[in-house]
Amino acid sequence: MKKVIAAGAALLMVGSIASAAYAEVNLSGDARVRFVYKDTYDFGNTHWDDTLQKNVPDTPDVNYFDSRIRIRIDGKAKGGAFIKARLRMDDFRWDGQGWDAYKEGKNIWVDYGYVGVPVGPVTLLGGFVNWDVTKFFQWDDRPTVAAINYKNDIVDIYGLYVIEDDSPNYLDNLDDNNMRAYGIYAKAKINDDWSVLAYGLYNDDQRDWTENDAGELVSRNGQDNSGFLGTLHVDGNVAGIALQGEVAYKASDVQATQDDGWGLYAQASYAIGAMTPSLSIGATWNSYTADGDFGWLMIGDIEPIGVIKNVGGYGQDWFWVAPTVDYAVSERLKLTGNFVYVNVDTNDDTPLDSDRLAKLYEISGQAVYTVSEGADLMLGMGYLKPDFDGRLNGAGVQDDGAFGLMAKMSLKF
């Protein structure tokens, strides 16, 4: 009996220590199940297969299910120090591997995890950070960062020290394997209607250079990636019209191109009762490539039915006009429709014998129905029609339209 009492006292003591050390721990997360169907994503083009001795599609048509569960952990000590982490579980396609998914090294893994400690008016941060700047420039990245943050009701400022590459490799002399980045993120509220965000990062590529068999200086990826990249974003409201705009830049060495890359866009939207029309107009030059989270359904990597994963691309200049309409049928049912026109041309970074895309047309839409608080059903579909010209005229290249469809069941808790 004394042993039981002693054990109980020990558990109570451990519990009291834990309560003192961890004032607050919150769990939240999200989950989804999706069905995806893709047809003619190669635009009807084929290639010869030596094994099958016949022409086969460049991109076979597919349909599949997949699913994912994520758990977010937010822990906060009584003094204000905190940790943030997210676990991702069972992020797989349903292609038969599910029977052995529990054996996979990435069946459960840390999506991000970092620590924050308030010191006077600032907070020190360190770890594997969930980093969002803008969807046009950099979104949902996972850099390893040491940072200092100052925040109040007007400004939110970060000073960043980023570890980009610190691993030895066969091209290095092992004396210095460092690729670092130094940056500043600043967001300021100008007034009730306007805010501005500025972000600048300098890549400092100090990885060793050595000689290959031909006596040429080479690095891990064949070039020095030092250089500046950054963006300037504004949000505002004028007479009920919601406005946003952005100008982004990447140095030529950073994106491994001949010329510096530039991107810009402007967007306006206006609510008219249950309907909100909007218009996006923008361009990219000299291989600037927007983050995959910028785009629509068939252009962009927001949903799995995207045909072209990024706005902009290596060796390309883009110009687009994209009207979108959102309509709230009821409190539960929301509809979105997109019509996107894009003109794509090559630039000096592309060899003269390269293919040339002239125009893209996307018609797409989605419906989201809220079943209950935190649980949605979504149906999305889109059609992307390319129009090849220039060097592809008479070359036998097909430009059939691609069709994609997806259905998603998602929840947040």
- Per-residue pLDDT tens for 87-114? 998 888 887 655 566 566 667 889 999 9
Please check whether residue 296 lies inside any domain of the structure: yes
In a domain, 200, yes or no: no
How does pLDDT run across 170-222, given as a tens digit for each residue?
555 555 667 899 999 999 999 999 999 999 999 998 776 666 667 665 555 55
Q: What angle do CA 316, 318, 323 make, to 5 degrees?
A: 155
| Most confident residue range from 41-45, 259-263, 342-346 | 259-263
CB 359 within 8 A of CB 343: yes
The CA distances from residue 272 to 214, 236, 238, 334, in Å, are 67, 18, 15, 15
> Is residue 380 one of the residues assigned to a domain?
yes
Q: Does the residue 70 lie in any domain?
A: no
Q: Is residue 293 part of a domain?
A: yes
Domain residues for 380?
Answer: 259-413
Q: Please give the C-alpha separations between residue 208 and each of 177, 179, 190, 199, in angstroms, as whole numbers.
A: 6, 10, 44, 28
On whether residue 60 sits in a domain, the answer given is: no
263, 136 contact by CB (below 8 A): yes
**Residue 404 falls within a domain, yes or no?**
yes
Residue 305 maps to a domain: yes
Q: Is the pLDDT of residue 384 over 70?
A: yes
Please answer whether residues 156 and 196 qualify as being in contact, where contact means their C-beta atoms are separated by less than 8 angstroms. Answer: no
pLDDT, averaged across the chain: 86
| Distance in angstroms (rounded) separating the CA atoms of residues 324 and 340 | 8
Q: What is the CATH number of the domain that holds 376?
A: 2.40.160.10
CA distance 121 to 126: 17
Percent of the chain surpassing pLDDT 90: 65
Is the separation of the CB atoms in 58 and 44 below 8 Å? no
Tell me phi and psi for residue 85, to 5 degrees. -150, 160
Tally the domains of the chain.
1
The b/e string for 349-360 (b: 16+ C-beta within 10 A; e otherwise) is bbeeeeebbbeb
- Could you tell me if 320 and 280 are in contact, meaning their C-beta atoms sit under 8 angstroms apart? yes
